Amino acid sequence: MVRTSFALLAFAPLMLAGCAVGPNYHRPEPATLGVPDAFSTPSVPGVRPELEQWWTSFNDPQLNAIVELALKQNLDVAQAVSRLRQAREQLIQQNAGLFPTVSANAGYSRNIEVRGRTFGQITNAGIVNENYVLSADASYQVDLFGGVRRGIEGARGSLQSSGYSLAQVRASVASEVARNYILLRAAQANAAIARGSLALQDDNLEIAGFRVQAGLVSGLDAEQVRAQRAQTATQVPTFDQSFEQAANRLGVLTGQAPGALKEQLRAIKPIPKGPDAVPVGLPADLIRMRPDVRVAERNLAAATAQIGVAKAQLFPQLTLGTSINTNASSIDLLTNIITGRVFGQLAQTIFDAGRNRAVVRQRRAAAEQAFGAYKAAVLTALEDVENALTALATAQRRQRDFMIAAEASENAALLARSRYRAGLTDVLTLNTAETSLLTAQNGLAQAKSDQAQALVRLYLALGGGWDADGPVPTAPPLKHGDGQPAAPSSPTK
């Protein structure tokens, strides 16, 4: 009988599990999400490139190294890994609901009869009996209406959502590293331009001083040149500050102290330049490529499953159980008499003032909210691509115009300096030409920086930085007894 009882519990999930109440989840079609057939902003045609490691397209080994270091050591990534581990353990807890709960007990007692005491001491005692007890219990709540299975669906959706969240954090960290690296190189370029302009203005100030001493001009020329030089000098500390701030940010992004990377970044290098254009594919591709969109979709699936979990509480709950036990006065006699029992219990809530039905309605509203969040994530992804394409095209046009302006301003400045030395023009013309040159050069550097940053934004908007065609990103389990999280596994190939 005992063997039959435990067998009954073992096969109860297969024999008694009925249909799962609540709606079955179906991924919404792109048309219901407002996805157009094509982007409205002009873009280059062609096959969408591989964007898993898009930062390598800038051909800057130092940028590549810093990004890889950040993906290994960034603290936001570490937190995302921890959240993924929590979601995985939550799924294991939900899965446990499909199986019986088995417990065992063992006991021993020794009864002593105290016949007398002298000053608190036992003077004569005899052992009455000893008792050995063994028992085992098993219980199982049959998932008649699929509440447990819906809970598992919800936990699995949350786990996958956490995996895609990890991919999103990694992609965001990579883009943040690239953005600050570009800002740092732009600050270096602008500082170098300002220092080069200062060197020329030092020569101009010296020439103006000679001309004043020779009586060819008044001291006004020298003061105007000196004022122009001082105004140019004020730009250098600002650019140096931008360098320091970007370097500090890169240190923190790599999980280190703010100043950890400053020395290796001080060597001046050009602003990174990536490809002039990137094919973006179709808008519907973003549903699959963007990890944040997939996070929202998995959240919708989890919210839909929770409706079934709540709805199952409206129906009867069937619990099956069995137990065996034995007791004897000695270990040798434990197997002589073994008793067991099998029981079943059916419970149904009769009155709860509408609480359970309110929970169902609440879960439906939560699913509606999750659908709205999913649609908003899709439309935001489309907006990000459109804006990034516009920003890239704008930066490219500005760069072309600033290149012309910088070339013309340089020629004008050379002529103005030559004519001022020969006494053929006044200092106002010289200062105007120098100012125009500095403005054009700074504008050109800024346009290069803007183009590189727009490219980074486009890569991020297209869902770059992870393997969208691979499995859901995972994290290694926490080592037993280790209080420190293990390094996150890369979702990339």
pLDDT at 490 over 50: no
479-to-74, 114, 472, 476 alpha-carbon distances in Å: 20, 53, 21, 9
The residue assigned the tokens 């992004």 is 253
Query: Which run of H or E residues covers position 165?
Result: helix 147-213
Neighbouring residues of 93: CB distance < 8 A, sequence distance ≥ 6 = 155
Burial classification of residue 387, based on how many CB atoms lie within 10 Å of its CB (0-12 exposed, 13-18 middle, 19 or more buried):
middle
- Percentage of the chain beyond pLDDT 70 is 90
Query: Which run of H or E residues covers position 61?
Result: helix 61-73
What is the amino acid identity at position 232?
Answer: T
pLDDT, average across residues 335-342: 84
The pLDDT value recorded for residue 12 is 47
pLDDT digits (tens, 9 = 90+) for 418-455: 888 888 888 888 889 999 999 999 999 999 999 999 99
The pLDDT value recorded for residue 14 is 47
Measure the CA–CA gap between 484 and 481, rounded to whole angstroms: 9
What is the amino acid identity at position 255?
Answer: G
Contact 291, 164 (CB under 8 A): yes
> Tokens at residue 309, please?
């979990």
Measure the CA–CA gap between 377 and 368, rounded to whole angstroms: 14
218 against 459, higher pLDDT: 459
Neighbouring residues of 88: CB distance < 8 A, sequence distance ≥ 6 = 159, 162, 475
pLDDT at 120 over 50: no
Tell me, what DSSP letter sits at residue 326?
E
369-to-334, 372, 374 alpha-carbon distances in Å: 60, 5, 9
The pLDDT value recorded for residue 488 is 46
32-to-62, 280, 374, 384 alpha-carbon distances in Å: 44, 22, 11, 20
How does residue 118 score in pLDDT terms, banded at 50, 70 and 90? Answer: very low
The pLDDT value recorded for residue 18 is 52
369 against 430, higher pLDDT: 369
Look at the alpha carbons of 360, 364, 370, 374 in this order and tell me if their dihedral is positive or negative.
Answer: positive
The pLDDT value recorded for residue 47 is 81
This prediction has a pTM of 0.86
The residue assigned the tokens 């280790």 is 482
Neighbouring residues of 152: CB distance < 8 A, sequence distance ≥ 6 = 91, 94, 95, 97, 98
Measure the CA–CA gap between 321 and 344, rounded to whole angstroms: 6
How does residue 484 score in pLDDT terms, banded at 50, 70 and 90? Answer: low
Neighbouring residues of 237: CB distance < 8 A, sequence distance ≥ 6 = none
Name which of 144, 139, 9, 158 is nearest 93 in CA terms: 158
Q: How open is the CA angle 433-436-441, to the nearest 5 degrees?
A: 125
pLDDT at 150 over 50: yes
CA 206 to chain centre: 56
Report residue 436: phi and psi, to 5°.
-65, -40
* pLDDT-wise least confident of 50-59, 199-208, 407-416, 437-446: 199-208
Name which of 69, 136, 127, 79 is nearest 104 in CA terms: 136
pLDDT at 187 over 70: yes
The pLDDT value recorded for residue 205 is 83
Measure the CA–CA gap between 442 and 436, rounded to whole angstroms: 10
Task: Label the pairing between strands 121-142 and 317-328.
Answer: antiparallel
Contact 459, 58 (CB under 8 A): no
Q: How many residues does the chain have?
A: 493
> Tokens at residue 424, please?
């053929």
The pLDDT value recorded for residue 8 is 47
pLDDT, average across residues 339-367: 91
pLDDT, average across residues 301-324: 93
Contact 402, 443 (CB under 8 A): yes
Q: String of b and e for 242-271 (b: at least 16 CB within 10 Å)?
A: bbeebbbbbbbbbbeeeebbbeebeeeeeb
How does residue 17 score in pLDDT terms, banded at 50, 70 and 90? Answer: very low
Contact 170, 465 (CB under 8 A): yes
Supply the mean pLDDT for the chain.
Answer: 88
Query: Which run of H or E residues covers position 167?
Result: helix 147-213
Measure the CA–CA gap between 398 and 391, rounded to whole angstroms: 10
Tell me, what DSSP letter sits at residue 30?
G
The pLDDT value recorded for residue 290 is 95
How does residue 367 score in pLDDT terms, banded at 50, 70 and 90? Answer: very high
Helix (H, G, I), strand (E, B) or coil at 342: strand
How does residue 480 score in pLDDT terms, banded at 50, 70 and 90? Answer: low
